[in-house]
Amino acid sequence: MAGVMKRIKKIIIIILVLLAIIVVYGFIEPRLLRIYEVDISDNDIPLSYNNTRIVFVSDIHHGPFFSIGEVRNLVDRINALNPDIVFLGGDYVYNGSQYVEPVFEELKRLKAPMGKYGVLGNHDYRGSAWMSKIVNNAGIEFLDNRAIWISNGNERIKIGGVGDMYKDIQDVSPTINDVEDSDFVMLLSHNPDYAEHIRSRKVDFVLSGHTHGGQVTLFGLWAPFIPSIYGQKYRTGIIETGFTKVLVTKGVGTVYLPVRFFARPEIVLIRLKSQ
């Protein structure tokens, strides 16, 4: 009997040690920012855009869990990648209007010769006129329900955005109303669920965040909570719908608690590949 009790105690100790390691790692992982590289190949990408480097970042969540120093380091890491274009997918702050201006003061330092473009996320709405002014003052083209052509010589691609699904309307018409099927078009939508509303094949790629990759997952295989009505479908990665493709980043910051588990924060480096 004494031997059985000793074995039970050892098992309990091992379980407690493992749980402690998991908890400690959960608080460490939010600082393990990685670079996630992906090539996007499409027949519609003009030859002059072959190997164009795009950095896509979402869900910075500057606030109690992500300091302004960490935002500064994030900007430095993005600039070190020498992007041609920077896309920002929203949720720049996590609660508190006092965090808005400081985060955009840092984002002002982003360098991208072909432009910086962004939309708002559900945590960013503090009055659309005020927010759009702050975004534009940081040198970032504000794309909520707007679009713009980016030209390179005689060739061009279209970049558009829609408002957040929780806080705004979504109008994709400025993005697709003057494009041909042969044009390459990218759309920023903070929430990937919007991809299910797209009924046009003119949008080649949607870039989204919002889900944090689940933030806390079962070893990267499944997340108990994802802020999406489509369950695990838009947790992370590249997803195909009937009309377009969606790239969902795990984002940078955290919400609720400063923890992640097998959902490492990331900067996405996209290379366009003309076929």
Q: Model confidence over 76-120: pLDDT tens digits?
A: 999 999 999 999 999 999 988 899 999 999 999 999 999 999 999
Q: What per-residue confidence (pLDDT) applies to 184?
A: 97
**Residue 20 pLDDT level (bands cut at 50, 70, 90):** confident
Does the pLDDT of residue 25 top 90, yes or no? no
Q: Which pLDDT tens digit goes with each residue over 179-216? A: 999 999 999 999 999 999 999 999 999 999 999 999 99
Give phi and psi for 268, each to the nearest 5. -95, 125
Enter the pTM of the model.
Answer: 0.94
Q: For residue 70, is pLDDT > 90?
A: yes
**Strand 205-208 relative to strand 155-161, pairing:** unpaired
Reported as a pLDDT band with limits 50, 70 and 90, residue 15 is confident
Domain ranges of the chain: 32-274
Q: State the pairing for strand pair 237-240/141-142.
A: unpaired
Residue 36 class from Cβ within 10 Å (0-12 exposed, 13-18 middle, 19+ buried)? middle
Burial class (CB in 10 A: 0-12, 13-18, 19+), 273: middle
Q: Are 44 and 256 in contact (CB under 8 A)?
A: no
Query: Is pLDDT above 90 for 1?
Result: no
The two counts, helices (H) then strands (E), for the chain are 5, 12
pLDDT at 17: 72
Angle value at C-alpha 155, between 88 and 187, nearest 5 degrees: 30
Mean pLDDT on 42-61: 97
Mean pLDDT (the chain) is 94
Residue 238 pLDDT > 80? yes
CB of 254 closer than 8 Å to CB of 31: no
Asked whether the predicted pLDDT for residue 260 surpasses 90, the reply is yes
Backbone angles phi, psi at 85, to 5 degrees: -135, 145
Beta bridge partners of 269: 37, 55
CA distance 242 to 84: 30
Say whether pLDDT at 250 is over 80.
yes
Question: What is the structure's pLDDT at 185?
Answer: 98
Question: pLDDT-derived band of residue 45, with 50, 70 and 90 as boundaries?
Answer: very high
Topology annotation, domain 32-274: Purple Acid Phosphatase; chain A, domain 2 (3.60.21)
In this prediction, residues 167-178 reach a mean pLDDT of 96
pLDDT of residue 12: 78
